[in-house]
Structure 1
């Protein structure tokens, strides 16, 4: 079964995170004035007056604040929604936050209800104490395991953290790297060892490959544990668009997924490829430029800061001013200092932008075509984009009209094929879909599968893989089960095909459910979307 799971994961990139697992970028940041803490917007304007003894950042629309010796949580209006009562706290993630009371840690929901009672095995490390993909580390003695959101320990404590300042691994796309000295391996969300202990160090999987260290050098393995790129580099970065940055000595270059050196080491710093270009930095000049996939400097070192390309535009900073350039390096437009972008990119010709405390959308000429009024805004997908006003999620069209609003605590996830993921609460225990008008077209009755890489259902090419009574099937936009739930694993459609597995049989099916190709375990079938 390990080889089958590896084969399926390699069929396509893992699905993107939805609302339950993807944090909204905060629009407010904590600031200190004369010994008291409040919150300012991205332009530095005070929005919540300094009044607290300390404050943390916003996450899932709530921020921890200290009053005297007790912590509580405020919303983005400054209202105290969870009264100060805890000795220590952490940020919200997946609808829950870790809090300490009576000398022990537990978890509360966004109403302040204690959903996992305080207990000795819940202990913080150097990393945030939070749920990822439905699991959180718990500790007994010097060993850790994992607990689910019901408070049940689903993976008994058995792993250790040896690195100074280290922390237990968070799950990423269904697997986590774990250590029992002196070696590392990988487990799935059931605690099953899917890749045995054998590495000096391991890191999360991306694009089906994970960096591992052997005798002080880094290489890459696939999910069948095969060493596909031999350990030989001093440092490596994840793959993006088929290339990964590698360090040899003190210079970075790029390799392809076969391990072939595509760009010889010559750069002081590098970032990932996007739309065929990658950022590189000259440390002596302290400037960024862009190279193409051959390593040629396509855009000269000119910028004090730069972002990735998306829809032929990349954010850059030059002489204290920000703006966008095209792939030729020509400045598309400059941005006023009162306007901010977080990971700016264009989708369908529009990009979310922040000004004077609110989010709106600009076009490729830099003009606000949807004026800033939202507390958060996602990229457009088709005719609408997911936005948030206070605690209310909604959909806005390209004219800026709010076409739908959800009643809290309901949340919206990602949009595809004209349908947007919907969950009744931020914990994301059940999922359905709304259309571009906000009408519920599929009720939230589908769960996130408790299997490796399990994610909320997502439509692709008119069908969505859903988990029904322990098996995968496919529904259409009318929620008709057009392909029976008989598969142990399934992924989204791409080019009219979807990868599935039943027992030890891995195959690619068409939209009628007909097997068009058998795939031997460990081989790579065609990628989906």
Structure 2
């Protein structure tokens, strides 16, 4: 059981008597609408402190607004309206002064580099506060996903409206081109590039390479299962069509199962969101996710906001989005890629404070990882 802080209980003790008094004084015909609002208010009072406490432990500091980041041990301090102030550590100590930036993307802090925005231009700073990538690149979008994280020492960026890839030393790896419609983040030393309505694969030097997910055809049988490639990419059944999937019933829109002779679906990124395509580059599962893993043992890990779940090849969430991204502790990008991936019927979905791993089986039940 997660303990609530004294301050949160103190707020509750003050709010509840006020609600009781309001109910006594309100005309009876106004009670239904008030009850709806009251239930929402109470859920905020009682649930949010618990959810926050479960996701991460906010350090004590002088800052009013502090939130978790995607990297364990780092936290973002911000002003009331979201402007960044500082990056702090688990002891509340300031690591970076961020006051000179419009925005930072703490959820994409990766490999020691943090995306920053200054005067509408994107750059990256290291943990010493130095701009190793100058703020000279375009925003990838005007919304939430305006920058990509560093992935295996490579960064997907835009310049003059054209996609390209640079190194952490700001060297151009994949030349900028208006013919490129999308570039995936690097996984397993390769990236997938959509150019002139065709797909190609490039290595970390920007040179053409073979599709790492290619699977040799197998004789079909009733007992065949779809095996995903081992290449790394970065719940209640519901169809995966859009962000309504958390509330949509399983009887809603269905995604057809893959055709006969099909091997597996491949992860693909577009405008900062992930989905899955078939071998002909036809979108089978829409670009709805903030992060995904490749299909393995017929299931793929998917993340929306801060929560992970698993979907099947038919696009249904068969294991709920119940697993907190901040509860998995990993040492490097290679270890990170092993999380939320099924191997021998088990997937690593959480970590103990001692460093031990917590796994689930394909029914979503907790099991030992060994």
Query: What's the TM-score, normalizing by structure 1?
Result: 0.35
Higher strand share: 1
Give the structure, 1 or 2, with the largest relative contact order (CA under 8 Å, sep 6 or more).
1
TM-score by length of 2: 0.48
